[in-house]
Chain A
Amino acid sequence: MAHTPRVASAPAGTPTNISQGTKTRGGIGESTLRPDGTLKVTGEFAYSSDMWHEDMLWGHTLRSTVAHAEIRSIDIGEAVAMPGVYAVLTYDDLPAAMKNYGLEIKDTPVLAHGKVRHHGEPVALVAADHPETARRAAAKIRIDYVELPVITDEASATAPDAILVHEGRDDSHMGHVPHPNIVHRQPIIRGDADEAAKRADFVVRGEYTFGMQDQAFLGPESGLAVPSEDGGVELYVATQWLHSDLEQIAPVLGLPEEKVRMTLSGVGGAFGGREDISMQIHACLLALRTGKPVKIVYNRFESFFGHVHRHPAKLHYEHGATKDGKLTHMKCRIVLDGGAYASASPAVVGNASSLSVGPYAIEDVDIEAIALYTNNPPCGAMRGFGAVQACFAYEAQMDKLADKVGMDRVEFRQLNAMEQGTLLPTGQPCDSPAPVAELLRLVKARPMPPERQWLAADAEGSTVDVRALPGGLSNTTHGEGVVRGVGYAVGLKNVGFSEGFDDYSTARVRMEVINGEAVATVHTAMAEVGQGGVTVHAQIARTELGVSQVTIQPADTRVGSAGSSSASRQTYVTGGAVKNSCEAVREKVLELGRRKFGSYHPAWATAELLLEGGKVVTDGGEVLADLVDVLEDEAFDIELEWRHRPTEPFDLRTGQGNGHVQYSFAAHRAVVEVDTELGLVKVIELACAQDVGKALNPLSVLGQIQGGTTQGLGIAVMEEILVDPKTAKVRNPSFTDYLIPTILDTPTIPVDVLELADPHAPYGLRGIGEAPTLSSTPAVLAAIRNATGLELNRTPVRPEHLTGT
Chain B
Amino acid sequence: MRVNFTVNGRQQEADDVWEGESLLYVLRERMGLPGSKNACEQGECGSCTVRLDGVPVCSCLVAAGQVEGREVVTVEGLADYARHREDAHPGGGCASGACGTALDAAKRWQAKPADGQSGEAAELSPVQQAFIDAGAVQCGFCTPGLLIAADELLESHPSPSDQDIREALSGNLCRCTGYEKILDAVRLAAARQEETV
Distance, CA A24 to CA B121, complexed state (A) = 11
| B39 in contact (CB, < 8 A) | yes
Closest partner residue, chain B, to A295 (CB atom): B29
Interface residues of A in 618-659 (CB under 8 A from B): none
User: Are B175's CB and A749's CB within 8 A?
Assistant: no
B132 & A37 in contact (Cβ 8 Å cutoff):
yes
On whether A41 and B28 interact (CB within 8 A), knowing A465-B163, A703-B138, A734-B42, the answer reads no
Query: Is B133 positioned at the interface, with any CB of A under 8 Å from its CB?
Result: yes
Whether A38 contacts B132 in the complex (CB less than 8 A), given A130-B18, A735-B173, comes out as yes
**Selected interface stretch from B61-69, B71-79, B83-91:** B71-79
Q: Tell me which of B114, B119, B174 has the highest count of chain A C-beta atoms within 10 A of its own C-beta.
A: B119
Within 12-52 of A, Cβ neighbours of B (below 8 Å) are at 12-13, 16-20, 22-24, 31, 33-47, 49-50, 52
Known: A132-B18, A218-B45, A300-B42. A530 touches B138 (CB 8 A): yes
- Please tell me if B108 contacts chain A, counting CB pairs below 8 Å: no
Assembled-state Cα–Cα distance A309/B116 (Å): 35
Interface contact B116-A44, CB-CB below 8 Å: yes
**Contact (Cβ within 8 A) A42 B122:** yes
B102 to chain A, nearest CB (A): 21
Q: What's the nearest-Cβ distance from chain B to residue A600, in Å?
A: 37
Q: Which of B1-58 contact A (CB under 8 A)?
A: 18, 20-21, 28-29, 32-42, 44-45, 47
The answer to the question of B131 belonging to the interface, with a C-beta cut-off of 8 Å to chain A, is yes
Does B100 reach chain A (CB closer than 8 Å)? Answer: no
Q: Report the minimum CB–CB distance from B16 to chain A (whole Å).
A: 9
A36, A52, A130: the one contacting B32 at CB < 8 Å is A52
By beta carbon, the residue of chain B nearest A705 is B178
Q: In the complex the two chains form, is B178's CB within 8 Å of A706's CB?
A: yes
CA distance A461 to B174 in the complex (A): 35
Which residues of A have CB within 8 Å of B178?
A: 703, 706-710, 746, 749
Hey, which chain B residues are within 8 Å of A270, CB to CB? 139
Q: Of residues 74 to 133 in B, which have CB atoms within 8 Å of A's CB atoms?
A: 74-76, 78-79, 114-122, 124, 128-129, 131-133
Chain B hits for A31, CB < 8 A: 135
1/0 per residue A214-245: CB within 8 Å of B?
01111110000000000000000000000000
Contact A23 B140 (CB under 8 A): no
A532-B138 CB under 8 A given contacts A268-B39, A743-B166, A746-B178: yes
Contact residues on A (Cβ < 8 Å of other chain), bracket: 35 or more
Q: How far is the CB of A606 from chain B (nearest CB, A)?
A: 40
Q: A43-B74, A44-B35 are in contact. Are A735 and B40 (CB under 8 A)?
A: yes
**Interface range on chain B (Cβ under 8 Å from partner):** 35 or more
A271 to B21, CA, bound (A): 31
Is the C-beta of A6 less than 8 angstroms from some C-beta in chain B?
A: no
- Closest residue of A by beta carbon distance from B45: A735
**Chain A residues closer than 8 Å to B21, beta-carbon distance:** 132
Contact with A along B166-179 (1 / 0, CB 8 A): 11011111111111
Cα-based distance from A222 to B39 in the complex (angstroms): 11
Interface of A is mostly: loop
Q: How far is the CA of A219 from the CA of B140 in the complex (A)?
A: 9
Instruction: For B177, give its contact among A271, A468, A707 (CB under 8 Å).
Output: A707
User: A790 contacts the other chain (Cβ, under 8 Å)?
Assistant: no
Confirm or deny: B143 has a beta carbon within 8 angstroms of a beta carbon on chain A. Answer: yes
Q: Is the pair B176, A40 in contact by a Cβ cutoff of 8 Å?
A: no
Contact of A703 among B74, B147, B166, B177 (CB under 8 A): B177
Q: Is there an interface contact between A132 and B181, defined as CB atoms closer than 8 Å?
A: no
Other-chain residue from A38, A219, A532, A741 in contact with B119 (beta carbon distance below 8 A): A38
Specify which chain A residues have a CB less than 8 angstroms from the CB of B181 in the assembled complex. Answer: 699, 702-703, 706
Q: How far, in angstroms, from A132 to B25 measured CA to CA in the complex?
A: 11
Q: Write out, one digit per residue, whether chain A residues 724-760 have a CB within 8 A of any chain B CB (1) or not (0).
A: 0000000000111000111110101100000000000
B75 CB contacts on chain A under 8 angstroms: 41-43
Find A17's partner among B117, B171, B174 (CB 8 Å cutoff). Answer: B117
- Assess the B42–A702 pair: CB atoms within 8 A: no
A198 to B49, CA, bound (A): 63
**CB atoms of B139 and A218 under 8 A apart:** yes
Q: Does A476 contact B (CB under 8 A)?
A: no
A473 interface hit (Cβ, 8 Å): yes
Which of B41, B142, B178, B182 gathers most chain A CB within 10 Å? B178
| Set A37, A47, A707: member contacting B176, Cβ < 8 A | A707
State A35–B18 Cα separation when bound (angstroms). Answer: 39
Given contacts A19-B118, A746-B179, contact A42 B76 (CB under 8 A): yes
Complex: A467 Cα to B166 Cα, angstroms: 9
Residues on B with beta carbons closer than 8 Å to the beta carbon of A746: 178-180
Residues of B within 8 A of A24 (CB): 120
A721 at the binding interface (Cβ < 8 Å): no
* Secondary structure call for the B interface: loop
A494 CB–B CB distance under 8 Å: no
Roughly how many angstroms separate A50 CA and B37 CA in the complex, as a whole number? 9
Contact A735:B44 (CB < 8 A) given known A219-B39, A743-B182: yes
The reply to whether B45 and A44 form a contact with Cβ atoms under 8 Å apart is no
Whether B42 pairs with A468 at a CB distance below 8 angstroms is no
Question: Given that A13-B34, A41-B124 are contacting pairs, would A268 and B140 also be in contact in the complex, using a CB cutoff of 8 Å?
Answer: yes
Within 8 A of B (CB), among A743-783: 743-744, 746, 748-749
Choice from A18, A47, A532, A707 contacting B37 with Cβ under 8 Å:
A47
Knowing A52-B34, A132-B20, the reply to whether A217 touches B114 (Cβ < 8 A) is: no
Q: How far is the CA of A699 from the CA of B45 in the complex (A)?
A: 25
Q: How far is the CA of A173 from the CA of B165 in the complex (A)?
A: 52
Q: How far is the CB of B115 from chain A (nearest CB, A)?
A: 8
Query: B190 near A: Cβ within 8 Å?
Result: no
A300 touches B132 (CB 8 A): no
The CA of A35 and the CA of B32, in the complex, are separated in Å by 23
Docked complex Cα distance between A67 and B175 (Å): 29
* A743:B35 contact, CB within 8 angstroms: no
A33 to B138, CA, bound (A): 11
Contacts of A50 in B (CB 8 A): 28, 34
Q: Which residues of A contact B139 (CB under 8 A)?
A: 217-219, 267-270, 529-530
| Measured CA separation A18–B119 after assembly (Å) | 7
* Contacting pair B119 A19 (CB below 8 A): yes
Residue A574, interface by CB 8 Å: no
The residues of A that contact B76 with a CB separation of less than 8 Å are: 42-44
Chain B proximity of A430: nearest CB distance (Å)? 28
Cβ–Cβ < 8 Å partners of A12 in chain B: 32
Q: Taking the complex as formed, is B154 at the interface, i.e. its CB lies under 8 A from any CB of chain A? A: no
CB distance from B32 to the nearest CB of A (A): 7
Residues of B within 8 A of A735 (CB): 40, 42, 44-45, 173
Which among B137, B144, B179 is the interface contact of A743 at CB below 8 angstroms?
B179
Any B CB within 8 A of the CB of A531: yes
Closest CB-CB distance, A294 to chain B, in whole Å? Answer: 14
Among B21, B79, B179, residue most surrounded by chain A Cβ atoms (within 10 Å): B179
Assess the A34–B34 pair: CB atoms within 8 A: no
Task: Identify B166's interface contact among A13, A39, A734, A744, CB under 8 A.
Answer: A744
Residue of B nearest to A738 (CB): B44
Q: Closest approach, in angstroms, between the C-beta of A43 and any C-beta of chain B?
A: 2
Residues of chain B within 8 A of A132, CB atoms compared: 18, 20-21
Closest A residue, CB atoms, query B164: A467
Which residue of chain A lies nearest to B171 when distances are taken between CB atoms in the complex? A742
Is B167 within 8 A of A300, CB to CB?
A: no
Q: Which of A46, A50, A216, A266 has the most CB of B within 10 A?
A: A50
Smallest CB separation, B2 vs chain A (Å): 16
| Least distance between B187 CB and chain A CB atoms (Å) | 13
With A33-B135, A37-B132 given, can you name 5 additional A-B contacts, CB distance below 8 Å?
A37-B131, A38-B120, A38-B122, A218-B45, A268-B141
Using a CB–CB distance below 8 Å, which chain A residues touch chain B? 12-13, 16-20, 22-24, 31, 33-47, 49-50, 52, 130, 132, 215-220, 266-271, 297, 299-301, 456, 465, 467-468, 473, 529-532, 699-700, 702-703, 706-711, 734-736, 740-744, 746, 748-749
6 nearest interchain CB pairs?
Answer: A43-B35, A530-B139, A268-B141, A706-B178, A40-B140, A710-B178
Q: Supply 8 A–B pairs (Cβ within 8 Å), ascending by A.
A: A24-B120, A41-B75, A41-B147, A49-B34, A132-B18, A300-B40, A710-B178, A735-B42
